[in-house]
Amino acid sequence: MPSGKRGHFPVGTPVLEAARQLGVYVESVCGGRATCGRCQVSVQEGNFAKHKIVSANDHLSPIGPKERRYAEVRDLPEGRRLSCSALIQGDLVIDVPQDTVINAQVVRKAADERVIARDPAVHMCYVEVEEPDMHKPLGDLDRLKAAIAADWKYDNLEVDFHLIPHVQSILRKGEWKVTAAIHRDQDSERPRLIALYPGLKNEAYGIACDIGSTTIAMHLSSLLSGRTVASAGASNPQIRFGEDLMSRVSYVMMNPDGREAMT
């Protein structure tokens, strides 16, 4: 509560882990080491006919040394538990106090509207290739390279090996009109043909990925117009080990085998 989400979990599952599996935001800056106190929750006791369960405080594991140490050093209000240390032992209705939600996470799903100079590494180049001529002893690939060089100024073109066996059939399927996908970025010494399509293909998309400490955002963008076609975001799964990078580094140092301490 108050999200109303519910689920089934094995006995011994930390309340914090159960909340995260349900997609319920419970803040935990320290990564589950019971030092920040941000993950406080409380148990709503009673018979909940709607959920067909009886919730009680003793359906959580007894207060352990981590919670006692935190209560001694800081203030842990009566009836509150640290969800990173409290383990599920039975049916429960858990309340996430709103005074503990200081930095509720927002997953960005829309790209900021601002002007960005379009300079993609992949360019879609439409060309019309000369048909075979007995008086010009050039192969299909050579004539394709010549057309690209003449129309788009891409000289000394490299070709991906997987394309070479298919150049002849693609040219004929497109009736000698094809669209070449040319890759060249600032670090490339030579342009490279990475794909070839029969006829005119005026679609090309790329993904912009923002991997942050708390969220991961992906934007599908048109390489031709620069328009953002779709966006999506999700929580960074590493957040379970701490909301800041130093907490995650500390977790790795304390758990070199990669397993999370449950005590």
Give the model confidence (pLDDT) of 185-228 as tens digits. 777 779 999 999 999 998 999 998 988 877 788 999 998 888 88
Q: With cut-offs at 50, 70 and 90, classify the pLDDT of residue 261.
A: very low
Positions of CATH 3.10.20.30 in the chain: 15-103+243-254
pLDDT score recorded for residue 33: 78
Nearest to 194 by CA among 205, 182, 204: 182
How many whole angstroms separate alpha carbon 180 and alpha carbon 183? 10
Domain with CATH 3.10.20.880 in the chain: 122-198
How many CB atoms sit inside 10 A of residue 187's CB? Answer: 6
84: left (phi over 0), alpha (psi -120 to 50) or beta: alpha
Q: What are the tens digits of pLDDT across the range 25-65?
A: 887 777 777 888 888 999 989 888 777 889 999 999 999 88
- Rounded CA-CA distance 192/195 in Å is 9
Contact between residue 163 and residue 130 where contact means Cβ atoms under 8 Å apart:
no
Task: Calculate what percentage of the chain has a pLDDT beyond 70.
Answer: 87
Tokens coding 260: 């999370």
The CATH number that domain 122-198 falls under is 3.10.20.880
Report the CATH architecture of 15-103+243-254. Answer: Roll (3.10)
What digits encode the pLDDT tens for the residues 241-256?
Answer: 666 677 777 767 876 7
Per-residue pLDDT at 260:
47
